[in-house]
């Protein structure tokens, strides 16, 4: 069990810069942006790590809300572990209170799965985080499906969502943000039973 007063570190995984902003690989950033908006905060460059941060609370208003550090690493995806580990150490966040929000190839588009620990499934952001601090953090996995035909995985994840996918994207990002809030305030089992599809 984690310390009830310890902060949570919620990390949206993605690549920095406008060229990547609408890519499938950047859905973690999209969810983080929505969570920041809900918390009433704006991302600011962190002095202590290569990341943008919002600090605030999730859940009930006032002191009963959970203290949260919301982060978007500004390293590239495959180097996410460094900034996340720096933030974990600076804010003294237990590894079990870290949540990575990321795209997942092995799940159909729009399907959501939450879990604690596990492998990286070839995801470079998770690979980097696990190498830096072990695998015992939460993952909120946003399904993007497999590439069509013979398209390479790297090309697929660095392409923008298709026009058909974009019709549902706003709703799905909103639902993913709800799932993250549920995980932090009510625990993994409740979040899984409500949002795993």
Q: Please list the alpha-helical segments (H only) found in the chain.
A: 27-39, 81-91, 124-133, 153-157, 163-186, 188-195
Can you tell me whether residue 163 is helix, strand or coil?
Answer: helix
> Token pair for residue 184?
């932090």
Between helix 163-186 and helix 188-195 the angle, nearest 10°, is: 150
Annotated catalytic residue 102:
no
Judge contact between 137 and 116, C-beta under 8 A: yes
Q: 25, 102, 123, 138: which one is catalytic?
A: 25
Alpha helices per DSSP H over 50-162: 81-91, 124-133, 153-157
Residues known to be catalytic: 25
């Amino acid at each position: 069990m984690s310390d009830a007063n310890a902060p949570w570190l919620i990390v949206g995984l993605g690549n920095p810069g406008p060229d990547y902003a609408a890519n499938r690989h950047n859905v973690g950033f999209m969810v983080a942006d929505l969570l920041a908006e809900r918390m009433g905060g704006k991302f600011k460059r962190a002095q202590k790590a290569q990341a943008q941060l919002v600090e605030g609370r999730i859940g009930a208003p006032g002191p009963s809300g959970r203290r949260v550090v919301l982060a978007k690493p500004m390293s590239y995806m495959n180097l996410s572990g460094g900034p996340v580990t720096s933030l974990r150490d600076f804010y003294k966040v237990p590894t079990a209170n870290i949540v990575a929000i990321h795209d997942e190839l092995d799940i159909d588009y729009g399907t959501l799965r939450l879990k604690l620990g596990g492998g990286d499934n070839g995801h470079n952001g998770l690979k980097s985080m696990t190498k830096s601090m072990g695998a015992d953090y939460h993952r909120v996995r946003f399904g993007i499906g497999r590439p069509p035909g013979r398209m390479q995985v790297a090309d697929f994840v660095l392409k923008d969502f298709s026009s058909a996918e974009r019709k549902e994207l706003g709703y799905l990002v909103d639902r993913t943000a709800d799932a993250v809030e549920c995980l932090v305030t009510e625990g993994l089992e409740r979040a899984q039973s409500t949002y795993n599809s």
